[in-house]
Amino acid sequence: MPSPQGAAISKSPSFLADGAHVGDGLRRFGNRRSLFWGILVAIFLCAGVDWFSASTRRLYVDEDSAAARQEGTVWQHFGVRGNEVVPEIISRDRARFVFPVSLGAPHSLLFSAYPEGAAEYQIRWRSDGTSRQIAARKITNAVSENIAIPAGKGELEFAVEGKIAWFDLRLTRKMFRWPAYLGAFLAVAFAMRNRPVSPAGQSRIGNWLALGLSTLLSLAAIEAGLRLRSLKLPPAILNARHDLGLFAPDPRWIESPRYKERLRPNLDTYCEWKFGDIVRMGFIPPELSEGQEHRYPFRTDAEGFRNPAVREQIDVAALGDSFTDAMASPVEEAWPARLEKITGRKVQNYGTSAFGPQQELYALRDYAIHHRPSHVILAFFAGNDLFDAERFDRWEREGDKPGEETTGWRLVKNFRRYQTLYLSTLTRVVTPQRNSQESVAAVSDRRTGELLPRFDRGIFEIPTEESGQLRFALMPPYLQKLATSHDEFERSRGWELTRATLLRMKETCHRAGSRLSIMFVPSKAEVYWPLVEHSLGPEELQRAIDFCCLYNHMKIRPEEIQANRLAQNELLRDFCARENIPFVDLTPALEKSAGAGHAVYYVDDDHLNAAGHEIAAQEMARFLAREP
């Protein structure tokens, strides 16, 4: 009979085997449980990635629509509304516009429609030879739409009656696949329902859940804090959100019930910029510009103008917009300051960026005339003064309406949802970025080595004898304006308002014993056009014009610009001759200097540089020397 000890010994191998099976089972159970938890985490991560990677494509009527099929009055605008720039498509009267699209997945068409009075619209989806109406409304108040668009190639056709502003028209990938994620989550949770978790496992799971939840809550709190403080964030973050439409208020400016906006008095700060207005408004990509850093003191006097101080008595009052206050330059380079240096006369600068003729009349009456100047020089800018006269008149009568607000800039067209997060912006700012600026080399003839003229995505490169090569971009709206005829200008509402304003200026000056003179400031496109026309071949010249006119589907031929380039000059000259107002046209002097290869405007900005301001000052000094 086996001893008890022997019996115990004889049973031990079986006991160990059973224990091993149990251990293997526990390990398999633990691995299976870990697998389930891993699947749950993966589902959660996939849902998050899917949500944040949703792509959006904005539709711009000047870039994306079929130009040949556009009817009626339709144009693209980027309006500043509050603290953001809003892409707006303005359609008026009876209009039609069509967007060809190709979608790899179902999307949603999103927009808000703001009518002026009663209006109606129909939207149709055309694909594979079929057409169906996807929206139709008669509206008197603003409405928002979220319309499903199927995957595939097709066309979105808009037919409009009345005036409507279409805010942020865009296509967003149809989201969110929540039924699939919820179903998968519930299936895994159901599979885990009868699988107990040990106390140690519960503790680990709890720790991981607490860590994940606290991380998410912390990130959400940081994002919310950044959004609440968005306008007070460092300039680097504000600049990084420029293409997303963040419009940070400039503390140098104040709202005015009389002037709309004007500079704040007694400023003592700095102005900094790297890219000019042609880049900032999205007409050329930043990588094509050389991006020169500018930083200089920016001060205003007690009246709110760029002068060292208010002077009781002055000799010359300079009126105008940004070509007079010279916001893009140090104030000592501005033509009023240079005119004072050249002539020794006391010249006070009353220019303010974005002012039009009516605001300049107010500045004359409210400020300049009280200092008893013998001469009042109005710098009339050919690029936008007539337009500014119309816009300010509408603002005085009706306030800002969609399509008539301060113009902003082009926003990024394609983006994903995560890119709109402030945390994403912060990451981009603090993470070192590789310099992606292209090095744009001049093109030369391989046989002779001679530099060749060319046009590249908005940048002109024109060889010149004195400087070697002149690089510049033109502001598309101002280039298009060169095709406008004398009769069109004369019939415009802008000229009607400007003419009446100039007569009131003359009367105000006459009563005060001052004499009004007008200095005509041409646009950069007007001055540089002869260089462009004489340097590029017919095909490349037309291609350059087409590129610049892309943003509103205008079709302009070089012959139209050649015939009408000086039409506005002649309009002002004829008016001044009839009204006995001295007239000085800067166009010949600026054109001569540019023709010799000297830059008189900034490369990627439409404003005069130091050389351009110097020419203006010299021309006005010669004019004043002839005046009694």
Contact 371, 364 (CB under 8 A): no
Section 481-497 average pLDDT: 96
pLDDT at 390 over 80: yes
pLDDT at 289 over 90: no
Mean pLDDT estimate for the chain: 87
pLDDT of residue 25: 46
Measured CA distances, 155 to 96, 98, 356 (Å): 13, 7, 41
DSSP 536: S
Dist CA 429 CA 35 (whole Å): 38
Instruction: Render the burial of 107-128: b for 16+ CB within 10 Å, e for the rest.
Output: bbbbbbbbbbeebebebbbebe
pLDDT of residue 625: 95
Evaluate whether 57-173 and 253-402+452-628 have a shared fold. no
Instruction: Provide long-range contacts, Cβ within 8 A and 24+ apart, for 421-429.
Output: 421/52, 421/223, 422/223, 422/226, 422/227, 422/230, 422/237, 422/241, 423/219, 423/222, 423/223, 423/226, 425/237, 425/240, 425/241, 426/226, 426/237, 428/240, 429/236, 429/237, 429/240
Instruction: Say which residue the tokens 């500079």 belong to.
Output: 263
H or E element, residue 161: strand 152-173
Contact 584, 517 (CB under 8 A): yes
Contact 422, 276 (CB under 8 A): no
pLDDT of residue 431: 81
pLDDT at 9 over 70: no
Task: Place 192 in a pLDDT band, splitting at 50, 70 and 90.
Answer: low
pLDDT at 31 over 80: no
pTM reported for the whole predicted model: 0.81
Percent of the chain with pLDDT over 70: 84
Pick the residue with more confidence: 410 or 112? 112
Give the model confidence (pLDDT) of 573-623 as tens digits: 999 999 999 999 999 999 999 999 999 999 999 999 999 999 999 999 999
CATH architecture of 57-173: Sandwich (2.60)
Task: Place 26 in a pLDDT band, splitting at 50, 70 and 90.
Answer: very low
For residue 433, what are the contacts with CB-CB under 8 A and spacing of at least 6? none
For residue 159, what are the contacts with CB-CB under 8 A and spacing of at least 6? 95, 96, 121, 122, 123, 124
369: which 2 tokens?
């005339």
CA angle 218, 422, 248 (to 5 degrees): 135
Give the model confidence (pLDDT) of 34-64 as tens digits: 666 667 677 777 777 777 888 999 999 988 9
Give the model confidence (pLDDT) of 333-383 as tens digits: 999 999 999 999 999 999 999 999 999 999 999 999 999 999 999 999 999
DSSP letter string, 336-360: HHHHHHHH---EEE---TT--HHHH
pLDDT of residue 96: 95
pLDDT at 15 over 50: no
Give the model confidence (pLDDT) of 552-578 as tens digits: 667 889 999 999 999 999 999 999 999
pLDDT at 193 over 70: no
Give the model confidence (pLDDT) of 138-176 as tens digits: 999 999 999 999 999 999 999 999 999 999 999 998 755
Count of residues making up the chain? 628
pLDDT of residue 87: 94
Task: Place 71 in a pLDDT band, splitting at 50, 70 and 90.
Answer: very high
Instruction: Render the burial of 237-246: b for 16+ CB within 10 Å, e for the rest.
Output: bbebbbbebb
What are the residue boundaries of the structural domains of the chain, listed by start? 57-173, 253-402+452-628
Instruction: Render the burial of 549-585: b for 16+ CB within 10 Å, e for the rest.
Output: bbbbbbebebebbeebbbbbbebbeebbeeeebbbbb
Give the model confidence (pLDDT) of 300-345 as tens digits: 999 999 999 999 999 999 999 999 999 999 999 999 999 999 999 9
pLDDT of residue 47: 74
Q: Which CATH superfamily is domain 253-402+452-628 in?
A: SGNH hydrolase (3.40.50.1110)
Task: Place 205 in a pLDDT band, splitting at 50, 70 and 90.
Answer: low
Closest CA to 551 of 618, 494, 480: 480
